[in-house]
């Protein structure tokens, strides 16, 4: 059984085959075509080739000497290097890049101190939940804090609140040199100012009367000399 050559498909009859002129003619036709291509420039020989140089095709498709030796082909490194000027294998570069993150302008890299637990906790906080709104005006309903300057302006426009109450020390009300009178607004701890009215001042001072005790809605006075007339005292309650 016949076989065929690798390059030009020439027929090779088996040793037991009968010789046929047609097979010879087919082979010669193929050889003739290849020789014709060589002579017409379709396949050109390299003129004055240099040993170990690399062949290349010119613009017309002709095979020519590239002028570069196979010895000049650079070594392809299999690892990154600070000093090598050779190219490096693609897969080595990919492995190196896969171990990096993209740089972000004005950002730096650090250790991963932000744990998954902290991130989960942060993700559970609603947007704006931690915002503190600071009011810029007084309000009867807001529970937000308010700007310091707003509070100061409001206070600067006010005077300390106080009230004035008149009380009467009657001659019949004295017992064991003291008398308690009702004064609405007095507490055991607020500040009160006690002074006799102008028409009671002389007798008040002669009797040596002083206010000695205060309690809820009550003041107690004592005397050194028992008064002989009813006396009027004015009580100023600060902060009341």
Q: What is the pLDDT of residues 128-144, one digit of tens each?
A: 676 778 889 988 898 88
pLDDT, residue 193, reads: 94
pLDDT-derived band at 7 (thresholds 50, 70, 90) equals confident
Q: Is residue 148 part of a domain?
A: no
- Chain mean position to CA 188: 55
Question: Reduced to 3 states, what is the DSSP secondary structure of residue 49?
Answer: coil
Out of 41-45, 186-190, 236-240, least confident range: 41-45
Burial class of 219 by CB neighbour count within 10 A (0 to 12, 13 to 18, 19+): buried
Q: CA nearest 221: which of 159, 162, 170?
A: 170
User: What is d(CA 39, CA 236) in angstroms, rounded to the nearest whole number?
Assistant: 133
Helices (H), the chain: 21-39, 90-98, 116-123, 148-156, 201-206
Using CA atoms, how far residue 66 sits from 38, 86, 172, in Å, is: 20, 21, 138
Q: Is residue 8 part of a domain?
A: yes
H/E segment holding residue 233 = strand 231-238
pLDDT at 189 > cutoff 60: yes
Q: Is residue 113 part of a domain?
A: no
Q: Give me the mean pLDDT over the 36-54 stretch.
A: 67
Q: Virtual CA dihedral for 35, 40, 43, 45, nearest 10 degrees?
A: 90
DSSP 109: -
Q: CA nearest 173: which of 124, 137, 209?
A: 209
H/E segment holding residue 163 = strand 162-169
Q: Characterize 37-60 residue by residue with b for buried, 16 or more Cβ atoms within 10 angstroms of its Cβ, and e for exposed.
A: eeeeeeebeeeeeeeebeeeeeee
Q: Is residue 214 part of a domain?
A: yes
Out of 45-49, 109-113, 121-125, 212-216, least confident range: 109-113
Residues contacting 92, CB < 8 A, separation 6+: 77, 78, 79, 80
Q: Is residue 74 part of a domain?
A: no
Burial class of 30 by CB neighbour count within 10 A (0 to 12, 13 to 18, 19+): middle
Q: Is residue 202 part of a domain?
A: yes
Q: Domain range for residue 23?
A: 3-39
Global pTM reads 0.37
Q: Give me the mean pLDDT over the 6-33 stretch.
A: 78
Number of domains in the chain: 2
DSSP 72: G
pLDDT-derived band at 61 (thresholds 50, 70, 90) equals low
């Amino acid at each position: 059984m016949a076989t065929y050559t690798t390059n030009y498909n020439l027929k090779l009859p088996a040793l037991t085959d009968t010789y046929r002129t047609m097979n010879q003619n087919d082979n010669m036709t193929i050889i003739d075509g290849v020789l014709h291509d060589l002579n017409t420039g379709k396949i050109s020989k390299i003129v004055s080739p240099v040993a170990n140089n690399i062949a290349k095709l010119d613009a017309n498709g002709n095979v020519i000497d590239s002028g570069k030796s196979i010895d000049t082909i650079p070594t392809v490194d299999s690892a990154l290097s600070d000093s090598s000027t050779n190219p490096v294998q693609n897969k080595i570069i990919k492995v190196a890049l896969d171990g990096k993150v993209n740089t972000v302008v004005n950002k730096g890299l650090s250790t991963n101190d932000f744990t998954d637990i902290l991130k989960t906790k942060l993700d559970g906080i609603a947007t704006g939940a931690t915002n503190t709104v600071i009011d810029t005006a007084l309000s009867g309903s807001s529970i937000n804090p308010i700007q310091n300057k707003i509070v100061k302006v409001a206070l600067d426009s006010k005077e300390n609140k106080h009230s004035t109450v008149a009380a009467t020390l009657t001659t019949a009300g004295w017992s064991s040199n003291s008398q308690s009178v009702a004064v609405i607004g007095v507490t055991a701890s607020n500040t009160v100012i006690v002074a006799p009215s102008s028409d009671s001042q002389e007798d008040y001072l002669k009797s040596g009367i002083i206010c000695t005790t205060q309690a809820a809605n009550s003041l107690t006075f004592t005397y050194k000399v028992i008064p002989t007339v009813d006396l009027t005292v004015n009580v100023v309650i600060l902060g009341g």
